[in-house]
Every structure is written in structure tokens, then in C-alpha cells.
Structure 1
Amino acid sequence: MALANLELWLRIDAVARLGVTQLTALIEKTGNIAALYDCSDQQLTAFGLSAKQITSLRQPNTKRIDRVLRWLYNPRHHCISYFCPTYPEQLRHIDKPPLLLFVKGNLSCLQGTQVAIVGSRNASYSSQQHAYCFAHYLARSLTITSGLAIGIDAKAHQGALSQSKGLTLAVLASGCDIIYPKQHHDLAEHICEHGALVSEFRPGTPPKAGFFPRRNRIISGLSQGVIMIEAGLPSGTMITAKYALEQGREVWALPGEISNPNTKGCHHLIRDGATLVTEPQQILEDLSLCPHISTKNEKNAPSCVNHAQQKLPFNPMLDNVDYAVTPIDVIAIRSQHPIAEVLTQLVELELAGLIQAVPGGYIRR
């Protein structure tokens, strides 16, 4: 987009409550975006703009606009409007699509077929492994979209990046120059090299609580469907599922341990009609991106079972540890093994990353 046109779009984008629908009607009446600025206040009022909107249009915050223009001097920084041919087609058809999208990284990857993987920030170890596994497998055919959050989101991005030529998009609740959480700065840079950061918020915009639901509607809006891996009730993940259903997207949910409160959302979705999924191949089949996988191919397909669990000879001991603090004597009673043997197995499980020692006992990760 030419800088002259871009400045006009940035001024328009700053006008409160001026959405794509109203703006489309305005452009139809004036002929183009530039002609809108030539209209008198009386004409703009007749077109339905309020006095406050007209003032905002006439008196833009030039410092904020200049900051965005400086950010865009980098050739890997982009801004696309709803009316640009490069605007993602999937996103055009959601309720209240963003007028502008700011992109850092590979702009072309927005055009690929996307699937979102989202879930709890406090996800269990096994669920994080599932997110990584699903993303790694699906990134051979799809772009993996998520929200750069701690937990499932991060594992989904990492899984996609671990695939040769895998692409992933991170949708932010801040400007593309402000990474949240801060500890994901390196991950964000890696994503930019093999995908992109995407935001409807201008560079320099810090994250706010109200921005995360807006981000979630874009995550689902960009995607053909959303894979839910651990979701509490209520949670941001469930907000994403709500948007996905409203947008007519597929919703897949992984079942989990019934004693884990972070699986209640997924079980709720499955009960209400979401597709239960246990293997990533199912996603490709549901999207008609591959034929039904034969038994021979299934043997070669990666399993989402945690390899650490497969190798442990005493895996049943894990079943005696809850997601809440479980005292050692309770674990011994449940397992019906001597304390000495229980302690040995618990240490091995902790070294495998499946449980964690805490005051009062152990918890599952």
C-alpha cells in the first residue's frame, strides 16, 4: 500500500465506531477513500457520521500516525486494509472484521489454509505434548494459527516451527512491536522468520484485558477450524470456541482427565456437538485434505501419546496422582505398593516431567 494512501487509512481507522460496513457505504457514495476527506461537514453528517467522528477525521493524532509510518519502513512490516486483495478471504466474512491488519513477517502465509490450536495457559504436561504433536503433524499441510500465550499456544507454535518448512501465525492482543508475554520474545522472532505476527492494533499499542477477546475472534476468523486442547469453564479458550461456532468454523476438542478442571471446557464442547479428536490425521480428513488413512499408513503416522509415558514400566502409578495436591500416603494406599517403591516411581515420574513435587505431595503436570 502506498504511504499516501496508508496515511488516509490510518486516519480512518482511528475514527471510533466506524466499521467496515459503514465505511463501505461511505466509499460507495464518495467514490474512493480520498474523496471522503473532500466532503464538507454537512455532507459527512448526512452520510451518518457524528460530530465526534467528523472531528476525529479532521484532527488526527499525527504522532501516532507517524509512529506507524516509521514502523512500516521495514520491508517485512506490512499494513493491509479490508479492501486490499491481500486481505485474508476467511476474515472478510466474520462479524465486524478489522479494517486494518498489521503484519510482521511473511505476508503471503495469510493466504494459506489455516487451523487454529488454542488452550489453557496452565495446561498439563501431556496436553502441551499433544499441542506440539498436532501442530508438527498438521504443519506439513496447513498453517498453524494461535495466540502466542504461555502453555498450549506456545507449544502449537513450536510444533509447527519444528516441521520442515512449517508455517505459523501468532495473533496478538497488542501491537506487533510489543510482545506479550515478554518471555516469548525469542519465539516471536522465530515465528517472524517462518510465518508472521498479526494484529489489528497499531504498533505501540500495549496489551489490555479487553483486547484478548478481540484477538480471539481473529484467530478463529482466519482459520478453517479450531482445535481445543484443555479449556476451563469459563476461559479465553472458550471465548475462541464461541467465536468459531458463530463464524461457522469447525470445532475439534481433545478429551482429557475428568478430574482436571482445565478439561471441563473441552468436555462441554464435545457434549454440545464439537468433534472429539484424538489424532491429527482426523483434522485433515474432516477438511478433505487427505484420503482416509489406511492401516498401513496409520502405523507410520506419529502418535500423540507421550513417549515418556510409553517408556515407563510403572505408568499405572501416574493414575494415582491427581491434578490437585496428592499426599504420598494417599498415593501409596491407592497403588497398594510399599512407600519405598512408591517414592522410587514418583521420582522417575518427576524426572520424566509428568508430575511435580509440591508442598504436601505431588501434582500431575
Structure 2
Amino acid sequence: MDETDELRAWLIALRTPGLGPGGLREALVATGGRIDAMPTWLRRQATALGEGAAAWLDTPDETRLAEDIAWLAEPGHRLLRCTEADFPPQLETIPQPPGALFVAGDAGLLLHPQVAIVGARGASPAGLDHARRFARALALAGFTVVSGMADGIDGAAHEAALEAGGATVAVVGTGPDRVYPRKHHALARRIAAQGVVVSEFPPGTAARADHFPRRNRIISGVALGTVVVEAGLQSGSLITARLAGEQGREVFALPGSILNPLARGCHRLIRDGARLVEDPAEVIEALTPAARALGVELAERLARPDTPAPARPGGWRDDPDYRRLLDALGHDPATLDELVRRSGLTAAALSSMLLMLELEGWVASLPGNRYQGLPG
């Protein structure tokens, strides 16, 4: 089965009405991971899935599939599948993990330690300032800021991370080619260039109310912790915070005036056990151990026979691929794509190795998603 046929089979499955991420993963288990066998298996389940599924599987919309494939063929676009080594391991432990993600930008950033910053769309000026302050500090500390590219707190967090020269992840509730709200077209382009836009919805998918809770589970799922800046009692940010808690992630909330209705959601979170934070340093201190643990986990997950994860600090020194990476880094900063070309190693392997070397002080992560070797 060549790559085009495999991609087409994935797209057919992802667009099958009634299947969903849980059904997709069930199909992968039932077929032993053989994506070529999935359409046949799905046809046998079509009755349970409904008439729409049967009609789609019998006569898929070839125009729509061709448009999907054309979007994926554009530079920087990718379908990141749960069967691939560099699929974010954080998402494997959440309820209803996505089966695949449509990505525009640097997919490797999904393997970096991330912190979610969420809050009200109609945020106050003070709330926007807090979002920018936390995002800037987190980005400068080496965390990738993740949010939903909504108006208000989300947009302010994305922009501040970019202005600090850091990276940011936007998880959207539309197809990856759609921008919602429309005012964020320029921001979406900047994020795709300096970070990554992620969606579990295929290209062309419009915004729908039920998409955003689904999006929120991914925002909280890829992050080590979620910071809620401002939130009313009916805010969608409280859904993200609740999901983060259910996923075993840290939840942080900024307190506010008792007269500010946008502080009530944060106060409720604090009463329910969220950490009260006033300064970004508190978040950084709390999440640094988890970030280091994530680096070790990724090294083990992405290990290949020819790039084994080091069993102890410094155990990589005798590994020829690590030497190739250090030689490829040279003296000047380089992007991940440049390191792939220079070293001949895969992006997945390099992401793991760079994290390990960064934790041990041999590599520095620089603004613009670049890396530079440090004197050893």
C-alpha cells in the first residue's frame, strides 16, 4: 500500500459519519493497525454507524478527498496519525484521544513541554495584560504556549508568546484551513509560521458549537498544566480546566476582584482545588519537574534500534546518531528541518534527541524554533 493509498484510507475513515475518534481507534485495533483493511471493516460496522456512514463508505466524495490531499501536499501541512512515533504521548492518556491531527506548521512542537493559557473572550484590559505577562514569561522559560486562538485571552497569549520569540500551539475547533474568529487571519498565519495550528477536523470544516468542547480536551491534553486567567461561571474555559483536572494535569487560576464577574470562574476553580497563582514563576516552578519527566518519556517513546534512548545521563555519548546530530548543529542556530537535511535522521528521532540533549545542557532551544549546540 503506497503512501497516497494509505493517506486516502485514513481520510475516508476520518470523514466517516458517526465513527469518531473512539471508533477510529477501535477499527485500528480490530484490523491490527492495517489501515488498508479499515474500509472493509468499517463497511461491516456501517449499520451500527448509521445510513450516512454506509453511503459515505460506498461512494466517498472524491472531490472532497482530493481537496484534503491537496491541502496536505502543501509545505508545512501534515496528517499526524496516532500510529506514528511522534504523535504526542500526552494525548494517549486522555479520554477519547484523537486518532489523527491535521497540522499546519512545526508538528515537532507538540512534543515540547506545553502550558495552556485560556480565559474569557470578552476579557478585561487587566486580564489581557495578565495573559500576555504569563505567556511571555512561560515562552522565555522554554515552554510552548497552547491555546484555542479564540478572541480575548487566547489571542493575547498566542501573540505574547510569538512576540517573545517563543513558540505557540493553536488548537482550533474548525478545519485547519478555516480561521475563527475571522479577525485572527493574520495571527493564524504567524502561528503556522512560528508555531503550529492543530485540528482534529478535516479541511473545510466550519465552526460549530459542539466542536469547541472537543477542541478543549486537546488543549488541556497536550499541556502539562492549564492557566485560567479570567472566566465567568458559564465560561468554556471552565470546561478546559475541568478536563485538565480529569486528565491528571495541573490547574492554575488567577484570582481577581470580587466585583469582577470574570473572576468568579477562577474563584470557583480555586475553591475546588486549583492552584492560586499570582506570578508566572509559580507555574514554571510547579511544572519544571513534569517537563523533565516528559523529556525522558519522549526519549523512550521515540527510541529506534539505531537511536536508543540513553539508559543513564550521558549514555548517548557513544551513540553515533547523537554525534551526527551534534556535528549537524555546528556553531550557528539551525531549525529542525535543517537538522533533518544535514543529519539524515527523521524529525521524530531528532525531536527526542534534542530534548534529551537540552535537558543535559548540550543544546539550547532558541526563538524561532531553532537549536544551537553549547560548548561541551
Shorter-chain-normalised TM-score: which range? 0.7 to 0.9
Q: How far off is 1:287 after superposition? A: 1.4
Superposed CA RMSD in Å reads 2.2
Q: 2:46 touches 2:54 (CA, 8 Å); kept in 1?
A: no
Partners of 2:189 and 2:49 in 1: CA distance: 41
User: Which structure shows the bigger proportion of residues in helix conformation?
Assistant: 2
Alignment of 1:130-279 (within 5 A): 130-140=130-140, 141-164=142-165, 166-279=166-279
Indicate yes or no: 2:45 matched with 1:36: no
Aligned to 1:18: 19
Q: Figure out how many residues of one structure are paired with residues of the other and give that number.
A: 287
Range 14-23 or range 151-160, more displaced: 14-23
The alignment partner of 2:288 has SS state of coil
Deviations 1:211-239 (A, max 9, x none): 11111111111111100001001111111
**Is the counterpart of residue 84 in structure 1 residue 84 in structure 2?**
yes
Q: Which amino acid aligns with 2:72?
A: L
Distance of aligned partners of 1:276 and 1:125 in 2 relative to their CA distance in 1, 3 Å threshold: same
Instruction: Kindly indicate whether the alpha-carbon contact (under 8 Å) linking 1:72 and 1:78 is maintained by their aligned counterparts in 2.
Output: yes
SS at match of 1:226: strand
User: Structure 2-normalised TM-score?
Assistant: 0.72
Unaligned runs of 5+ residues in structure 2 are: 291-376
C-alpha deviations, 1:10-65, integer Å up to 9, x for none? 10112233244444444444341112335695xx2599766654443232222221
Superposed CA deviations along residues 54-85 of structure 1, whole A, max 9, x for unmatched, are: 44323222222111111112121111122222
Hey, what's the Cα distance between the residues in 2 that align with 1:170 and 1:191? 7
Deviation at 1:119, TM superposition (A): 0.4
Aligned position for 1:109: 109
Q: Specify whether residues 53 and 260 from structure 1 end up closer, same or farther in structure 2 by C-alpha distance, changes over 3 A only.
A: same
**Which residue of structure 2 lines up, in the alignment, with residue 99 of structure 1?**
99
Deviations 1:194-221 (A, max 9, x none): 1011111111111112211111111111
Deviation, 1:289, is 4.6
Query: Offset at 1:268?
Result: 0.4
> For the structure 1 residues 217 and 38, does the alpha-carbon distance in structure 2 shift closer, same or farther, using more than 3 Å as the test?
closer
3-state secondary structure, aligned to 1:63: helix
- What is the CA distance between 1:121 and its match in structure 2? 1.1
- After superposition, what is the alpha-carbon deviation per residue over 1:243-276, rounded to whole angstroms, capped at 9, x for unaligned? 1111111100000111010110000000111000
Larger radius of gyration: 1
Q: CA deviation at 1:148?
A: 0.9
Hey, what's the Cα distance between the residues in 2 that align with 1:184 and 1:52?
A: 34
CA contact (8 A) 1:20 1:82 kept: no
Letter of the 1:196 partner, please give it. Answer: V
Unaligned runs of 5+ residues in structure 1 are 291-365
1:101 Cα shift? 0.7
Q: Secondary structure at the match of 1:287?
A: helix
Distance 1:209 1:29, change over 3 A: closer
Contact 2:14 2:24 in 1 (8 A): no
- Whether 1:8 and 2:9 are equivalent positions in the alignment is yes
Does the 8 Å CA contact 1:14/1:60 hold for their aligned counterparts? Answer: no
Mean Cα displacement is larger for which, 29-38 or 242-251? 29-38
